[in-house]
Amino acid sequence: MNLKKFACLAGVLLAFAGSQASAEMGRWEQWLNSYYQHPQPEKVVNAAYGLDREGYFDQAGAIPTAIGFFATVFAANPDKVDTWFAEFRQLPSYEQRVMASALWYSGNPKGEQKLLALAHTSTTESRREIEQLVNTPNTDIANTPVRSDSSMNLQWGAFLASGEEKNVTNILAAIGRGQLGESARVSLAFNAAQHERVLDICRAQLDKQPNEVRSILRAVINDAEVKKQPTS
């Protein structure tokens, strides 16, 4: 796809996604999306239940984003994890697996224990997924390779919890390797328009990336800046 077509597509999707986000994003989803700006770990339990009530976990791409987000929060607050998980017990089983997976990704050894405990009460398919996960060498999210939309959303979730540049540059590296499709470019454009921090990272990376990524970054930056301009 050439640059003009990409800019046009990104603009259309941003306009739609932006209107949908402002109209439909619930209170706790807004909390999650702005967490890195004002960390509030004391609200993690309320957020987990609130996100469940809002149907957040049913959205496309939400599960890996949630895992990346909560894994980063758990890693930053290891002293609170036991208390949080005691209060997660009333969550639906599927969301409990999300939280246990996040704990595993955080590097906490209790993550494997909680996943294996959940495996005993899961369906055969879910049990196999859990066993496959715990048998995979654990690496922190910042060093997890981005090879798919799911692993890209894992990075976005971690970014929402931390605001770390590394999560964004991991996505840029995958785009440069040709490992992500058009959805990654549109996701980058959307997040740059939504988050000034992402836009600043894109600007800072413009002269550091290979040519094939620079052209995408220029389109992303231009489109995000246009979206930020007040309408007359």
DSSP per-residue string spanning the chain: --HHHHHHHHHHHHHHHHHHHHHH--HHHHHHHTGGGS--GGGHHHHHHHHHHHTGGGSTTHHHHHHHHHHHHHHH-GGGHHHHHHHGGGS-HHHHHHHHHHHHHTT-THHHHHHHHHHTTS-HHHHHHHHHHHTSPP--GGGS---SHHHHHHHHHHHHHH--HHHHHHHHHHHHTT-S-HHHHHHHHHHHHH-HHHHHHHHHHTTTS-HHHHHHHHHHHHHHHHHHSPP-
Q: What is the pTM of this model?
A: 0.84
Q: How far apart are CA 140 and CA 103, in angstroms?
A: 11
**Domain count of the fold of the chain:** 1
Question: What is the span of the domain harbouring residue 24?
Answer: 3-228
Q: Tokens in use for 187?
A: 């996701």
At residue 48, the pLDDT reads: 97
At residue 77, the pLDDT reads: 97
CB 213 within 8 A of CB 180: no
**What is the sign of the dihedral through the CA atoms of 96, 100, 101 and 102?**
positive
Q: Tokens in use for 122?
A: 């899961």
DSSP 58: G
At residue 230, the pLDDT reads: 66
At residue 153, the pLDDT reads: 96
Element (H, E) at 169: helix 165-176
SS3 131: helix
pLDDT tens track, the chain, 232 positions: 443 443 344 443 443 344 344 446 799 999 999 999 999 999 999 999 999 999 999 999 999 999 999 999 999 999 999 999 999 999 998 899 899 999 999 999 888 888 877 776 665 666 677 667 766 767 789 988 899 999 999 999 999 999 999 999 999 999 998 888 888 888 999 999 999 999 999 999 999 999 889 999 999 999 888 877 766 5
List, in order, residues 6 or more apart from 72 with CB less than 8 Å away: 106, 141, 157, 158, 161, 162
Q: How far apart are CA 32 and CA 166, in angstroms?
A: 19
